[in-house]
């Protein structure tokens, strides 16, 4: 299992690569690291459509799923963060390293970059965990050939 320091090192290595190549309104992207170089593995408007390539590249390697959105304080002002008066533009990074996920957030208004101590929660995290579980079980049972179901 990766230590928190090596997780931070991977984020630190990846962050300038992404920040240099992509803007704040880019589609969701999955990256994988090949021979020390980050390359785009897949991209789509919806991060949910990228779960399979994210897990495929991260279950026994390293992958990074990036997406953008709005964040806002939890209060009764608005149902949607994008409509809240105190909204902030954010970029979420989910790193999968040898099947273990870690999250980080970057904020557009402050250039702040924060590695979170917890792997994340919610519908996207649950979907990633489900796909990773099924993928791992299929590998263990020999039902995958070249990363694809038989």
Burial 115-131 (b: 16+ CB within 10 A, else e): beeeeeeeebeeebeeb
**What distance in Å separates the CA atoms of residue 143 and residue 137, rounded to the nearest whole number?**
8
Can you give the pLDDT at residue 45? 92
Can you give the pLDDT at residue 125? 81
Asked if 144 and 138 count as a contact pair (C-beta separation under 8 A), the reply is yes
The pLDDT profile of the chain, 150 residues, written as one tens digit per residue, is 444 558 888 888 888 888 777 777 789 999 999 888 999 999 999 999 999 999 999 888 899 999 988 888 877 766 788 888 888 888 889 898 888 888 888 888 887 888 887 767 777 888 888 888 887 877 777 765 555 444
Residue 124's closest CA among 146, 80, 97, 92? 92
Can you give the pLDDT at residue 149? 46
Can you give the pLDDT at residue 1? 44
Residue 14 corresponds to which tokens in the numbers above? 């990846």
Q: What is the pTM of this model?
A: 0.81
Give domain limits for the chain.
4-72+85-149
């Amino acid at each position: 299992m990766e230590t928190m320091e090596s997780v931070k090192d991977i984020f630190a290595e990846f962050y300038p690569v992404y920040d240099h190549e992509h803007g704040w309104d880019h589609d969701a992207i999955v990256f994988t690291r090949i021979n020390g170089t980050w390359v785009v593995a897949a991209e789509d408007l919806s991060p949910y459509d990228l779960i399979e390539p994210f897990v495929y590249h991260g279950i026994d390697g390293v992958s990074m799923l990036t997406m953008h959105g709005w964040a806002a304080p939890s209060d009764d002002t608005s149902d949607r963060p994008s409509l809240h008066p105190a909204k902030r533009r954010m970029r979420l990074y989910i790193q999968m390293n040898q099947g273990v996920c870690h999250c980080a957030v970057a904020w557009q208004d402050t250039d702040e970059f924060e590695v979170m101590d917890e792997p994340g929660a919610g519908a996207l995290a649950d979907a990633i965990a489900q796909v990773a579980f099924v993928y791992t079980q299929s590998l263990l049972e020999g039902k995958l050939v070249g990363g694809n179901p038989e």
